[in-house]
Amino acid sequence: MLNPILRARPLLASAIVLLLPFSSLHAADLQSGKAVFTSTCAVCHGPAGSPDPDNPVVQGLGVVPADLSDPLFNSREPTGDWEMVVKYGGHAMGLAVQMPPHSESLSDEQVADVTAYVKSLVDTSAYPPGEMNLFLPTRTKKAFPEDEVVYKGRYSDEPGENPLKSVLEIEKRIGKRGQGILELVHVNDALRSELTEVEVGYKHALSWSAEHILSGAVIYAIPVDSGDSDGELQTYLAYGTELSPAWVLQSSLRLKFPMDKASDGAAELAGSLHYVHSPWPRRVFPGLEVVGETPFRSRNGDLEWTALPQVRIGLTRGGHVALNLALELPLSDQSWDNRVWVTLLWDFADGGFFKGW
């Protein structure tokens, strides 16, 4: 008979693999990173990370590398993504082939060192770090300010109605830590097919570190359909954190105040857990969300709880176009049996929609 410790070993090993699939224990050496950068990268990227467009080498590339010393660009890209670009080349991450792979010429330590050096080229402390640009959950609000276009479709299975709600969100980075929000809400059900709401708002990153981010947002929802509502003011706090290199947690608290009677509003608390098990963005990442919503003036049984098992599927090689598919299941009494959510997102800061498929 096998000793129980021996038998438990594969389990232990898989638990460790699950928790630490790609953590690096190497502490970056900026001096060595600088030496690699000067000898290997500066020819295209310029000695300080800003390429010289008049340099014949740069002109010969046919594509001018981005300015690595620009603080917004430097801060918004996660270090892990850049290590992948340096190691496997631009093509592997959906970027130009002119950015060569260095997996043969540089060791993993040198890749980590030179990437850390590139990250240190400019002071980005006033900008939220790209590491905190976590996967977009289905209902939990996201904290990172970004440049993104998102389509969200929600199909509810309701007796005789089966409404399809579509939301188009346009999010634009403003300054160092802000983001403008424009949302168009369209409803299609047994009675109508129309644009019902336009939402405008602003999100502001309030605090962050390498492991967490907290943001606040205010949104005004303006009704544009034939209904007689005066609109709604919404405000939310959104929080995101990395629990381990393999797990990220996000949560948001949203309050909704109808303009004609703020006390008829509602509060929504949402949380999501994503398994981010691969450094390759074009993978399938499972997640689970739980959302609770209650009117301010709650009577018994008003609290609605739902669970949303979901998967994020990175469509492009760099993951800047991704699909999220979720099933929403009621945990309390609801008027619908289940809902299906489809979210398609395009992070336009990382390139055109058709780049890198």
Query: What end-to-end distance do the CA atoms of the chain give, in Å?
Result: 52
Span 148-187, contacts to ligand HEC by CB under 6 A:
none
CB 66 within 8 A of CB 121: no
205 near ligand HEC, judged by CB under 6 A: no
Query: What string marks each residue from 108 to 137 as x (binds ligand HEC by CB under 6 A) or -?
Result: ------x---x-------------------
Residue 168: both structure tokens together: 């188009």
Task: Candidates 65-73, 179-187, 215-223, 235-243: pick the segment binding ligand HEC (CB under 6 A).
Answer: 65-73
Q: Which of 67, 75, 82, 177 touches ligand HEC (CB under 6 A)?
A: 82
**Residue 123 or 161 with smaller CB distance to ligand HEC:** 123
Burial class (CB in 10 A: 0-12, 13-18, 19+), 324: buried
Is 55 among the residues that bind ligand HEC (CB under 6 A)?
no
Half-sphere exposure of residue 276: CA atoms within 13 angstroms, side-chain side:
26
Give the containing element (helix H, strand E) for 34. Answer: helix 30-36
Residue in 125, 218, 245 with CA at minimum distance from that of residue 177: 125
Q: Which member of 35, 66, 259, 349 binds ligand HEC (CB under 6 A)?
A: 66
Work out whether 319 is an interface residue with ligand HEC (CB under 6 A): no
Closer to ligand HEC by CB, 94 or 287: give it. 94
To the nearest whole angstrom, how small is the minimum distance from the Cβ of residue 187 to ligand HEC? 38
Map residue 170 onto helix, strand or coil.
Answer: strand
Shortest distance, position 137 Cβ to ligand HEC, whole Å: 24
Instruction: Answer yes or no whether residue 347 interacts with ligand HEC by CB under 6 A.
Output: no
For residue 326, the minimal CB distance to ligand HEC (Å) is 28
- 270 forms part of the interface with ligand HEC (CB under 6 A): no
Contact flags string 21-50 toward ligand HEC, x per CB under 6 A? ---------------x---xx-xxx-----
Q: 316, 334, 338, 314: which is closest to 324 by C-alpha? A: 314
- What is the closest distance, in whole angstroms, from the C-beta atom of residue 49 to ligand HEC in the complex? 9
The whole-angstrom separation of Cα 217 and Cα 209 is 19
The binder of ligand HEC chosen from 28, 30, 35, 61 (CB under 6 A): 61
User: 226: which 2 tokens?
Assistant: 């034939």
With CA atoms as reference, report the closest residue to 311 among 354, 350, 277: 277
Name which position in 67, 75, 77, 308 contacts ligand HEC (CB under 6 A): 77
Distance CA 317, CA 307 (A): 30
How far is 257 from 118, CA to CA, in rounded Å? 46
Number of residues that bind ligand HEC (CB under 6 A): 24
Provide the pairing of β-strand 164-174 with 284-295.
unpaired
Nearest approach, Cβ of residue 352 and ligand HEC (Å): 11
How do 193-208 and 212-223 pair as beta strands? antiparallel
Q: Is the Cβ–Cβ distance between 180 and 172 less than 8 Å?
A: yes
Query: Among 69, 117, 71, 109, which Cα is nearest to 87's?
Result: 109
The residue among 69 and 235 lying less far from ligand HEC, judged by its C-beta, is 69
Residue 72 binding ligand HEC, by CB under 6 A? no
| Of 42 and 249, CB closest to ligand HEC | 42
Cβ 147 to ligand HEC shortest distance, Å = 14
- Structure-token pair, residue 298: 């709650």
Counted residue by residue, the chain has a size of: 357
92 binds ligand HEC (CB under 6 A): no
Which of 102, 139, 254, 320 is the binder for ligand HEC (CB under 6 A)?
A: 102
Q: By CB under 6 A, name the binding residues for ligand HEC.
A: 36, 40-41, 43-45, 61, 63, 65-66, 68, 77, 82, 85-86, 90, 95-96, 98-100, 102, 114, 118
